[in-house]
C-alpha cells in the first residue's frame, strides 16, 4: 500500500482507507480484503460494512451514520493512538465519491494508506458499452459546488458531444428532479438516458427512456443511483 504523509492531526497515527467496490463483495480487491482481515477496527456506514462483514474476522466494527460520523471517527482514531489498527471503508472507489469522508479522516491523522476500489461508474460504463474517452463525469456527492456542477451538466447536455455520467445527491437531488431541472434550463426532453440503481446488488435495477419520461417518474429512486445521459446519435 502507498502511504501518504498528509494532514496535521495526531502525530504518528496511521489509518487505511479502502474502497469496497459497488456492492457485490466479489468486486472487493485482494489488497482491500487483506487490509480488512488484518484490522483491529473497521469503520464505515452500516450499508458499506454489510458488504465486507465476511472478512472482518475479530475486528471491532464501528458503524456510523451521517449524524454521528465525526464522533465515530474520533473514537476509532483514539483507538489507533492506543496502538490499534483501523480501516475505514467507503463505497466504490475512493476518488469518485468519497472526498468528504477522506477529508474527515485526513484531518485526524498523519498518514493514510489509500486502497482504491472498483467504482459503480466503471460497472455502468460496462453495462452500456461506453468508454471513458467518450464520457464527462459529474458528481453531486458533495456539500459545496452543487449549483456549479448542475450548470456544468446543462452545459454539456446542450453541447451534445459527449455521454454524461452523473452521480445524484442521495435523497436530495435525485434522478426525476434532476431531469425536470435540466428541462427547465432548456435541455431537450427527448434526450435519451439510463438510470442504474444498486449496481451489482441482488436487487439491481435499470431504467431507460427520455429525460421527459424520467422527470415524470414519481416512484423513489435508490440512493445508490447513477444517471447516464447518452450522446445523441450522429445523423
Residue percentage of the chain with pLDDT more than 70: 93
Tell me the per-residue pLDDT of 64-88, one tens digit each, with 9 for 90 and over.
998 999 999 999 999 999 999 999 9
Residue 235 clears pLDDT 80, i.e. is over it? no
Structural domains of the chain ordered from first start: 3-118 (3.40.1010.10), 121-229 (3.30.950.10)
CA distance 80 to 9: 12
CA distance 126 to 118: 12
Tell me the per-residue pLDDT of 84-104, one tens digit each, with 9 for 90 and over.
999 999 999 888 878 888 999
Got the DSSP string for 156-225?
HHHH-SSEEEEE-BTTTB-HHHHHHHHHHTT--TT-EEEEEESTTSTT-EEEEEEHHHHHT--SPPPSSE
Other beta carbons within 10 angstroms of residue 33's beta carbon come to 17
Q: Residue 187, exposed/middle/buried by CB under 10 A (0-12, 13-18, 19+)? A: buried
Residue 61 CA from chain centroid, whole number? 21
Residue 7 clears pLDDT 60, i.e. is over it? no
CA distance 34 to 13: 20
Single pTM value for the model? 0.85
Amino acid at each position: 500500500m502507498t502511504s501518504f504523509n498528509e494532514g496535521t492531526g495526531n502525530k504518528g497515527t496511521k489509518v487505511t482507507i479502502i474502497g469496497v467496490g459497488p456492492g457485490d463483495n466479489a468486486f472487493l480487491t485482494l489488497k482491500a480484503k487483506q487490509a480488512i482481515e488484518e484490522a483491529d477496527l473497521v469503520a464505515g456506514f452500516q450499508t458499506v460494512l454489510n458488504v465486507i462483514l465476511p472478512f472482518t474476522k475479530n475486528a471491532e466494527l464501528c458503524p456510523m451514520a451521517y449524524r454521528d460520523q465525526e464522533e465515530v471517527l474520533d473514537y476509532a482514531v483514539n483507538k489507533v493512538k492506543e496502538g490499534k489498527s483501523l480501516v475505514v471503508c467507503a463505497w466504490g472507489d475512493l476518488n469518485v465519491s468519497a472526498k468528504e469522508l477522506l477529508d474527515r479522516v485526513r484531518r485526524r491523522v498523519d498518514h493514510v494508506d489509500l486502497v482504491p476500489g472498483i467504482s459503480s461508474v466503471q460497472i455502468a460504463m460496462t453495462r452500456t458499452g461506453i468508454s471513458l474517452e467518450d464520457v464527462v463525469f459529474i458528481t453531486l456527492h458533495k456539500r459545496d459546488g452543487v449549483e456549479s456542477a448542475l450548470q456544468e451538466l446543462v452545459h454539456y447536455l446542450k453541447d451534445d458531444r459527449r455521454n454524461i455520467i452523473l452521480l445524484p445527491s442521495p435523497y436530495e437531488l435525485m434522478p426525476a428532479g434532476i431531469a425536470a431541472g435540466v428541462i427547465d434550463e432548456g435541455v431537450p426532453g427527448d434526450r435519451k438516458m439510463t438510470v442504474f440503481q444498486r449496481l451489482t446488488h441482488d436487487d439491481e435495477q435499470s431504467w431507460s427512456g427520455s429525460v421527459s419520461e424520467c422527470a415524470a417518474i414519481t416512484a423513489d429512486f435508490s440512493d445508490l443511483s447513477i444517471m447516464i445521459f447518452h450522446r445523441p446519435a450522429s445523423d
